[in-house]
Homo-oligomer: A and B are copies of this chain.
């Protein structure tokens, strides 16, 4: 008996509208993967999922062509910027799948589209990225949830470890990831934060996995990993199907890192824009407010943009100059990105 392998392509399709980052989601269509009622997890409704499609190993010449193909079919969107994110292949990453079924390897891609393309066909929805990761949204202020719910829960999790080595290891991890005890907040550590919450039993997916694992009872359930599932009310952020929220966290972290050294933001903007529009998009992705004057100096002096000579008078105050991406910067600077000037230091 040989276990067959199936390749699934997942797309994290990102846009920014109304100064919020959005991702394209679908309702998970496969009934066999529907969340069991007992998970206390959206009461049996099909959860949000990232759009995905199978790789046709015979027809799709490259992985990316395969991705473009079914995205076009399912949503009508023509992907512009696409980059491979990560491949996820743990067994049991799809807890609903019966043992003995095929091994599913999912290769995730990050795609950026412009606001104009926002209309979609079918069952797809644009959702605010931060619904899934409310603790990542520092635009307004440092989310109170961090001190009120996350830190206490993680501290309990640290103390639940009896072995002192494990305990101090956990303590270090939560301090670095969530900027506790005076450590700085690193916007890029999105995945680390999600995984800590998962291990500490603070997200719905973990509760679900635990239930399924218990049902399957494949290995003695004494791993020190998870505490017992929490009641629904305390679980953090909007859940997704399978490991899709993990994929999403990977994407957010990658994107937050990438804007600093490659001019990818412009893939999310129309060809001409005001500096404030540009700033808002960067802020939406980074989840942090920036110092306006420094931002504009950085972008202009860095040669990333050039004025078009036109003005935009729909800004409410003084009309703003319109700019466009300055392609020559690619020749001039090794890593042209947009740092985060004046990001909240605390």
A interface, CB within 8 angstroms of B:
1-7, 55, 57-58, 60-63, 84, 86-87, 89-92, 102-103, 105, 107, 172, 175-176, 181, 183-186, 188, 330-335
Contact = CB atoms under 8 A, between A and B. Distances in A.
Contacts of A334: 184-186, 188
Given A6-B5, A86-B84, A184 B332 contact: yes
Contacts of A3: 57-58
A187 to B, nearest CB: 8
A332 B183 contact: yes
A175 B331 contact: yes
A306 to B, nearest CB: 17
27 contacts: A2-B57, A3-B57, A4-B4, A4-B5, A5-B5, A5-B7, A5-B55, A55-B89, A57-B103, A58-B103, A60-B91, A61-B90, A62-B90, A63-B87, A63-B89, A63-B90, A84-B86, A89-B107, A175-B331, A183-B331, A184-B332, A184-B333, A184-B334, A185-B334, A186-B334, A186-B335, A188-B334
A25 B77 CA distance: 43
Contact of A2 (B58, B92, B188, B332): B58
Nearest to A333: B184
A242 B188 CA distance: 35
B176 A61 contact: no
Indicate how many identical chains form the complex: 2
Given A3-B58, A186-B335, A334-B184, A105 B105 contact: yes
A178 to B, nearest CB: 11
Contacts of A63: 87, 89-90
A340 to B, nearest CB: 10
A249 B185 CA distance: 32
A91 B1 CA distance: 26
Given A61-B91, A63-B89, A63-B90, 20 more contacts: A2-B57, A3-B57, A3-B58, A4-B5, A4-B57, A5-B6, A7-B105, A57-B103, A58-B103, A61-B92, A62-B90, A62-B91, A89-B107, A172-B331, A176-B330, A176-B331, A183-B332, A184-B332, A184-B334, A188-B335
A58 B181 CA distance: 44
A172 B327 CA distance: 10
Nearest to A92: B61
A89 B62 contact: yes
A199 B139 CA distance: 45
Nearest to A102: B57
A136 to B, nearest CB: 15
